[in-house]
Structure 1
Amino acid sequence: MQRKPVPPAPDSLDAVWTVRDAVPLVPEPEADCCRRLVERAGVPDRGTASAWLVFLAALGVVDDTEKGFARGRGDPDAAALAANFRENVFLAADCLAALDDADARTAAEVFEAVRDRVPQWERAKRENWPAFWTGRVERRLDWAVLLGLAERGDGGYRLPA
Protein backbone atom coordinates (compact mmCIF):
# COMPACT_ATOMS: atom_id res chain seq x y z
CA MET A 1 0.00 0.00 0.00
CA GLN A 2 1.34 3.43 -0.90
CA ARG A 3 1.24 6.21 1.68
CA LYS A 4 0.59 9.89 0.98
CA PRO A 5 1.73 11.87 4.04
CA VAL A 6 5.32 13.08 3.77
CA PRO A 7 6.77 15.34 6.45
CA PRO A 8 9.18 18.10 5.51
CA ALA A 9 12.60 16.63 4.74
CA PRO A 10 15.16 17.20 7.50
CA ASP A 11 18.77 18.22 6.97
CA SER A 12 20.07 14.68 7.42
CA LEU A 13 18.95 11.07 7.75
CA ASP A 14 19.85 11.25 11.44
CA ALA A 15 16.41 12.79 11.97
CA VAL A 16 14.80 9.59 10.66
CA TRP A 17 16.47 7.62 13.44
CA THR A 18 15.72 10.27 16.08
CA VAL A 19 12.03 10.23 15.24
CA ARG A 20 11.95 6.44 14.86
CA ASP A 21 13.58 6.01 18.27
CA ALA A 22 10.77 8.06 19.85
CA VAL A 23 8.20 5.52 18.64
CA PRO A 24 7.43 2.89 21.31
CA LEU A 25 8.65 -0.69 20.95
CA VAL A 26 5.19 -2.00 21.88
CA PRO A 27 2.36 -0.79 19.61
CA GLU A 28 0.46 2.21 20.90
CA PRO A 29 -2.41 4.20 19.38
CA GLU A 30 -1.55 6.98 16.95
CA ALA A 31 -2.45 9.77 19.41
CA ASP A 32 -0.04 8.40 22.03
CA CYS A 33 2.71 7.96 19.44
CA CYS A 34 2.21 11.50 18.14
CA ARG A 35 2.54 12.86 21.68
CA ARG A 36 5.80 10.92 22.11
CA LEU A 37 7.21 12.30 18.85
CA VAL A 38 6.40 15.86 19.88
CA GLU A 39 7.85 15.37 23.38
CA ARG A 40 10.88 13.21 22.59
CA ALA A 41 11.90 13.97 19.02
CA GLY A 42 11.15 17.67 18.73
CA VAL A 43 8.44 17.20 16.09
CA PRO A 44 6.60 20.55 16.07
CA ASP A 45 2.95 19.41 16.28
CA ARG A 46 0.56 16.47 16.19
CA GLY A 47 -0.21 16.81 12.47
CA THR A 48 3.47 16.63 11.56
CA ALA A 49 3.94 13.75 13.99
CA SER A 50 1.13 11.84 12.29
CA ALA A 51 2.77 12.42 8.90
CA TRP A 52 6.09 11.15 10.30
CA LEU A 53 4.47 7.94 11.60
CA VAL A 54 2.85 7.11 8.28
CA PHE A 55 5.97 8.07 6.34
CA LEU A 56 8.27 6.00 8.59
CA ALA A 57 5.94 3.03 8.08
CA ALA A 58 6.35 3.54 4.32
CA LEU A 59 10.14 3.60 4.75
CA GLY A 60 9.97 0.34 6.70
CA VAL A 61 11.33 1.60 10.02
CA VAL A 62 8.00 1.72 11.90
CA ASP A 63 5.33 -0.98 11.99
CA ASP A 64 1.69 0.04 11.51
CA THR A 65 -0.31 -2.64 13.33
CA GLU A 66 -3.94 -3.12 14.36
CA LYS A 67 -2.98 -1.91 17.85
CA GLY A 68 -1.08 1.15 16.64
CA PHE A 69 2.44 2.08 15.68
CA ALA A 70 5.62 0.43 16.98
CA ARG A 71 9.30 0.95 16.36
CA GLY A 72 10.70 -1.43 13.78
CA ARG A 73 13.39 -3.81 14.96
CA GLY A 74 15.77 -3.41 12.04
CA ASP A 75 17.91 -0.58 10.73
CA PRO A 76 17.52 -0.47 6.94
CA ASP A 77 20.48 1.00 5.12
CA ALA A 78 20.21 4.04 2.84
CA ALA A 79 19.59 1.88 -0.24
CA ALA A 80 16.67 0.10 1.46
CA LEU A 81 15.21 3.40 2.63
CA ALA A 82 15.45 4.76 -0.92
CA ALA A 83 13.83 1.64 -2.40
CA ASN A 84 11.01 1.74 0.17
CA PHE A 85 10.49 5.45 -0.54
CA ARG A 86 10.21 4.84 -4.27
CA GLU A 87 7.88 1.86 -3.85
CA ASN A 88 5.72 2.84 -0.86
CA VAL A 89 5.23 6.61 -1.05
CA PHE A 90 2.44 7.78 -3.33
CA LEU A 91 3.79 9.67 -6.39
CA ALA A 92 7.45 9.18 -5.39
CA ALA A 93 8.28 6.98 -8.39
CA ASP A 94 6.25 9.23 -10.68
CA CYS A 95 8.11 12.33 -9.48
CA LEU A 96 11.45 10.63 -10.06
CA ALA A 97 10.34 9.48 -13.51
CA ALA A 98 9.54 13.10 -14.37
CA LEU A 99 13.13 14.16 -13.67
CA ASP A 100 15.88 14.36 -16.25
CA ASP A 101 19.55 13.71 -15.53
CA ALA A 102 20.64 16.74 -17.55
CA ASP A 103 18.10 19.53 -17.11
CA ALA A 104 16.83 20.50 -13.68
CA ARG A 105 13.06 20.73 -13.23
CA THR A 106 11.25 22.78 -10.63
CA ALA A 107 8.70 21.24 -8.28
CA ALA A 108 5.98 23.01 -10.30
CA GLU A 109 7.23 21.40 -13.52
CA VAL A 110 7.32 17.97 -11.90
CA PHE A 111 3.81 18.55 -10.53
CA GLU A 112 2.57 19.31 -14.04
CA ALA A 113 4.04 16.00 -15.20
CA VAL A 114 2.26 14.02 -12.44
CA ARG A 115 -0.92 16.08 -11.84
CA ASP A 116 -3.14 13.52 -13.62
CA ARG A 117 -2.19 10.94 -10.96
CA VAL A 118 -3.72 13.02 -8.14
CA PRO A 119 -7.03 11.29 -7.28
CA GLN A 120 -10.25 13.13 -8.07
CA TRP A 121 -11.37 13.07 -4.43
CA GLU A 122 -8.12 14.83 -3.46
CA ARG A 123 -8.84 17.52 -6.06
CA ALA A 124 -12.37 18.03 -4.74
CA LYS A 125 -11.16 18.35 -1.14
CA ARG A 126 -9.65 21.83 -1.50
CA GLU A 127 -10.12 24.86 -3.66
CA ASN A 128 -6.49 25.39 -4.61
CA TRP A 129 -5.46 21.75 -4.94
CA PRO A 130 -2.71 22.39 -7.54
CA ALA A 131 -0.76 24.60 -5.10
CA PHE A 132 -1.28 22.09 -2.28
CA TRP A 133 -0.07 19.19 -4.42
CA THR A 134 2.86 21.18 -5.81
CA GLY A 135 3.99 21.45 -2.18
CA ARG A 136 3.52 17.72 -1.72
CA VAL A 137 5.58 17.06 -4.85
CA GLU A 138 8.31 19.36 -3.53
CA ARG A 139 8.44 17.41 -0.25
CA ARG A 140 8.87 14.18 -2.22
CA LEU A 141 11.66 15.74 -4.26
CA ASP A 142 13.40 17.00 -1.11
CA TRP A 143 13.26 13.50 0.36
CA ALA A 144 14.52 12.07 -2.94
CA VAL A 145 17.56 14.36 -2.61
CA LEU A 146 18.13 13.29 0.99
CA LEU A 147 17.89 9.62 -0.01
CA GLY A 148 20.30 10.04 -2.94
CA LEU A 149 17.67 9.48 -5.64
CA ALA A 150 17.86 13.06 -6.96
CA GLU A 151 20.00 16.15 -6.61
CA ARG A 152 19.43 19.88 -6.54
CA GLY A 153 20.95 22.20 -9.06
CA ASP A 154 20.23 24.96 -11.55
CA GLY A 155 17.12 26.06 -9.67
CA GLY A 156 15.47 22.66 -9.59
CA TYR A 157 15.84 18.93 -9.20
CA ARG A 158 17.37 16.34 -11.49
CA LEU A 159 18.52 12.75 -11.42
CA PRO A 160 22.04 12.21 -10.10
CA ALA A 161 24.67 12.44 -12.82
Structure 2
Amino acid sequence: MQRKPVPPAPDSIERVREVRDAAPLVPESEDDCCRRLVERAGVHDRGQASAWLVFLTALGAVEETDLGYARSREDLDCDALAANFRENVFLAPEVLDALGDDPRRASDIFETVRERVPRWERTKRQDWEGFWTERVERRLDWAVLLGLAERADGGYRRPD
Protein backbone atom coordinates (compact mmCIF):
# COMPACT_ATOMS: atom_id res chain seq x y z
CA MET A 1 0.00 0.00 0.00
CA GLN A 2 1.33 3.42 -0.89
CA ARG A 3 1.27 6.16 1.75
CA LYS A 4 0.61 9.85 1.10
CA PRO A 5 1.91 11.75 4.13
CA VAL A 6 5.46 12.98 3.57
CA PRO A 7 6.96 15.29 6.18
CA PRO A 8 9.48 17.91 5.08
CA ALA A 9 12.83 16.24 4.44
CA PRO A 10 15.42 16.75 7.16
CA ASP A 11 19.02 17.74 6.53
CA SER A 12 20.41 14.27 7.19
CA ILE A 13 19.67 10.58 7.54
CA GLU A 14 20.79 10.98 11.15
CA ARG A 15 17.63 13.03 11.79
CA VAL A 16 15.57 10.18 10.35
CA ARG A 17 17.27 7.85 12.85
CA GLU A 18 16.51 10.25 15.72
CA VAL A 19 12.82 10.37 14.86
CA ARG A 20 12.63 6.60 14.28
CA ASP A 21 14.43 5.93 17.57
CA ALA A 22 11.81 7.97 19.43
CA ALA A 23 9.21 5.38 18.43
CA PRO A 24 8.73 2.58 20.97
CA LEU A 25 10.16 -0.92 20.54
CA VAL A 26 6.88 -2.42 21.75
CA PRO A 27 3.79 -1.26 19.80
CA GLU A 28 1.88 1.65 21.28
CA SER A 29 -1.15 3.58 20.08
CA GLU A 30 -0.75 6.31 17.49
CA ASP A 31 -1.46 8.98 20.13
CA ASP A 32 1.23 7.60 22.45
CA CYS A 33 3.72 7.32 19.59
CA CYS A 34 3.01 10.85 18.43
CA ARG A 35 3.54 12.14 21.95
CA ARG A 36 6.89 10.30 22.08
CA LEU A 37 8.02 11.80 18.77
CA VAL A 38 7.13 15.30 19.96
CA GLU A 39 8.77 14.86 23.38
CA ARG A 40 11.82 12.77 22.47
CA ALA A 41 12.61 13.82 18.91
CA GLY A 42 11.44 17.42 18.96
CA VAL A 43 8.87 16.92 16.21
CA HIS A 44 6.87 20.15 16.03
CA ASP A 45 3.36 18.89 16.83
CA ARG A 46 1.04 15.90 16.78
CA GLY A 47 0.10 16.39 13.12
CA GLN A 48 3.75 16.34 12.05
CA ALA A 49 4.39 13.35 14.32
CA SER A 50 1.54 11.44 12.68
CA ALA A 51 2.94 12.23 9.22
CA TRP A 52 6.36 10.99 10.37
CA LEU A 53 4.88 7.73 11.69
CA VAL A 54 3.06 6.98 8.46
CA PHE A 55 6.07 7.96 6.36
CA LEU A 56 8.51 5.94 8.46
CA THR A 57 6.16 2.98 8.04
CA ALA A 58 6.38 3.42 4.27
CA LEU A 59 10.18 3.46 4.54
CA GLY A 60 10.18 0.30 6.66
CA ALA A 61 11.71 2.09 9.66
CA VAL A 62 8.54 1.74 11.76
CA GLU A 63 6.02 -1.10 11.75
CA GLU A 64 2.27 -0.71 12.05
CA THR A 65 0.54 -3.52 13.94
CA ASP A 66 -2.93 -4.12 15.34
CA LEU A 67 -1.65 -2.68 18.62
CA GLY A 68 -0.14 0.46 17.13
CA TYR A 69 3.28 1.51 15.92
CA ALA A 70 6.72 0.22 16.88
CA ARG A 71 10.20 0.98 15.67
CA SER A 72 11.75 -1.57 13.37
CA ARG A 73 14.70 -3.41 14.85
CA GLU A 74 16.46 -3.32 11.48
CA ASP A 75 19.32 -0.92 10.89
CA LEU A 76 18.44 2.00 8.62
CA ASP A 77 20.13 1.08 5.35
CA CYS A 78 19.98 3.93 2.81
CA ASP A 79 19.50 1.57 -0.14
CA ALA A 80 16.55 -0.13 1.56
CA LEU A 81 15.05 3.24 2.55
CA ALA A 82 15.39 4.45 -1.05
CA ALA A 83 13.79 1.29 -2.45
CA ASN A 84 10.93 1.50 0.06
CA PHE A 85 10.48 5.20 -0.74
CA ARG A 86 10.08 4.42 -4.43
CA GLU A 87 7.73 1.51 -3.81
CA ASN A 88 5.61 2.67 -0.87
CA VAL A 89 5.20 6.46 -1.13
CA PHE A 90 2.34 7.77 -3.25
CA LEU A 91 3.61 9.57 -6.39
CA ALA A 92 7.26 8.79 -5.62
CA PRO A 93 7.77 6.50 -8.64
CA GLU A 94 6.14 8.99 -11.00
CA VAL A 95 8.13 11.90 -9.57
CA LEU A 96 11.39 9.96 -9.88
CA ASP A 97 10.53 8.85 -13.42
CA ALA A 98 9.91 12.49 -14.37
CA LEU A 99 13.52 13.40 -13.57
CA GLY A 100 15.92 13.79 -16.44
CA ASP A 101 19.54 14.66 -17.00
CA ASP A 102 18.69 18.37 -17.09
CA PRO A 103 17.37 20.07 -13.94
CA ARG A 104 13.60 20.48 -13.67
CA ARG A 105 11.69 22.64 -11.20
CA ALA A 106 9.23 21.01 -8.82
CA SER A 107 6.39 22.85 -10.57
CA ASP A 108 7.38 21.30 -13.92
CA ILE A 109 7.50 17.84 -12.39
CA PHE A 110 4.10 18.48 -10.80
CA GLU A 111 2.72 19.22 -14.28
CA THR A 112 4.01 15.83 -15.42
CA VAL A 113 2.32 13.94 -12.56
CA ARG A 114 -0.75 16.10 -11.90
CA GLU A 115 -3.18 13.62 -13.50
CA ARG A 116 -2.21 11.05 -10.85
CA VAL A 117 -3.57 13.26 -8.04
CA PRO A 118 -6.91 11.71 -7.09
CA ARG A 119 -10.05 13.63 -8.03
CA TRP A 120 -11.21 13.86 -4.40
CA GLU A 121 -7.88 15.54 -3.52
CA ARG A 122 -8.53 18.12 -6.22
CA THR A 123 -11.96 19.00 -4.87
CA LYS A 124 -11.09 19.32 -1.18
CA ARG A 125 -8.88 22.42 -1.62
CA GLN A 126 -9.24 25.52 -3.68
CA ASP A 127 -5.49 25.71 -4.40
CA TRP A 128 -4.92 22.00 -4.88
CA GLU A 129 -2.24 22.66 -7.52
CA GLY A 130 -0.16 24.69 -5.07
CA PHE A 131 -0.71 22.13 -2.31
CA TRP A 132 0.37 19.23 -4.53
CA THR A 133 3.29 21.14 -6.05
CA GLU A 134 4.59 21.44 -2.48
CA ARG A 135 3.95 17.72 -1.96
CA VAL A 136 5.94 16.93 -5.13
CA GLU A 137 8.76 19.14 -3.87
CA ARG A 138 8.80 17.25 -0.56
CA ARG A 139 9.15 13.99 -2.47
CA LEU A 140 11.98 15.50 -4.48
CA ASP A 141 13.76 16.68 -1.32
CA TRP A 142 13.48 13.18 0.14
CA ALA A 143 14.75 11.74 -3.14
CA VAL A 144 17.83 13.96 -2.79
CA LEU A 145 18.37 12.84 0.80
CA LEU A 146 18.06 9.19 -0.24
CA GLY A 147 20.39 9.55 -3.22
CA LEU A 148 17.67 9.13 -5.85
CA ALA A 149 17.96 12.70 -7.18
CA GLU A 150 20.22 15.72 -6.91
CA ARG A 151 19.71 19.46 -6.81
CA ALA A 152 21.15 21.48 -9.66
CA ASP A 153 20.57 24.96 -11.02
CA GLY A 154 17.42 25.59 -8.97
CA GLY A 155 15.87 22.26 -9.91
CA TYR A 156 16.18 18.52 -9.55
CA ARG A 157 17.67 15.89 -11.84
CA ARG A 158 18.74 12.27 -11.87
CA PRO A 159 21.93 11.71 -9.92
CA ASP A 160 25.16 11.38 -11.89
Scaled to the shorter chain, the TM-score interval is over 0.9
| Counterpart position of 2:75 | 75
What is the 5 A alignment of 1:1-161?
Answer: 1-101=1-101, 103-161=102-160
- Residue 135 of structure 1 aligns to a residue in which SS? helix
TM-score, normalisation: structure 1: 0.98
Q: Deviations over 1:88-135 (max 9, x none)?
A: 00000100111102x100010000000000001111111110000000
Distance in structure 2 (CA, Å) of the matches to 1:49 and 1:57: 12
Q: Which runs of 4+ in 1 moved over 6 A?
A: none
Q: Deviations over 1:32-90 (max 9, x none)?
A: 10110000001011111000000000000100111110011111311111000000000
- Residue 15 of structure 1 aligns to a residue in which SS? helix
Distance in structure 2 (CA, Å) of the matches to 1:126 and 1:83: 31
Distance in structure 1 (CA, Å) of the matches to 2:11 and 2:76: 19
Distance in structure 1 (CA, Å) of the matches to 2:76 and 2:53: 16
The code of the aligned residue for 1:120 comes to R
Distance in structure 1 (CA, Å) of the matches to 2:133 and 2:124: 15
**Contact conserved, 2:17 with 2:76, CA < 8 A, in 1?**
no
User: Percent of aligned positions with the same letter in both sequences?
Assistant: 73
- Residue 64 of structure 1 aligns to a residue in which SS? strand
Distance in structure 2 (CA, Å) of the matches to 1:23 and 1:76: 14
Mean Cα displacement is larger for which, 137-146 or 122-131?
Answer: 122-131
Unmatched 5+ stretches in structure 2: none
